[in-house]
Structure 1
Amino acid sequence: PPSPPLARTARTPTTRKRQRPSAPGRPAPRGCELASFTTFDLVVRWKPQPAWEVFGTVENLFDKIAPLDPLTYGAQAYNPLDYAGAVGRTLSLGARYTF
């Protein structure tokens, strides 16, 4: 079926809760759990003509800051201290032409 000229989609909120990993087969150190956080994403698609489609995405719409774990638990300086979502809000735009 043809899509409407302008379509908006709000993705299901994403809730993340992470536990710091430990050595394989060993439990993570006590208190190594990061708090959960929820992000909202927005997707927009517009078809100005049947062959053209313009689209965009905003991930982490409200720029929710990911929880930070300030402890390294013996990690090296190059290991990150936080998890997915630390980048903050991201935008992407694109266009598609169908032959």
Structure 2
Amino acid sequence: MIEALVDERGLSKLRWRCRRGLLENDLFIERFFKRFEGQLTTTQADALLALMELGDNDLLDLHLGRKSVGQVDASLDREDVREVLAMLREPL
């Protein structure tokens, strides 16, 4: 089954929601969008939004691998969230 991609309007809203207070998080997120925005699925967008519910320090700990998703929030310990987190960590 082919999953729907996020449309331009959805991407714009997602970018706005992903703005963070810590520059370090913004850098990870900006790199993510530069690399994946044209192929982002709705499931991945939902997982990214779930990650954006975290506080800045918890999100940075995930980006840097200092904590696992389950250590930060057990409800986020899901395959889709782990996939997006791996995408966020992927270097250019």
TM category (shorter chain) comes to under 0.3
**Relative to total residues, which structure has the larger helix share, 1 or 2?**
2
**Relative to total residues, which structure has the larger strand share, 1 or 2?**
1
Structure (1 or 2) with the larger CA radius of gyration: 1
Higher relative contact order (CA 8 A, sep 6+): 2
**TM-score using structure 2 length:** 0.22
**TM-score using structure 1 length:** 0.22
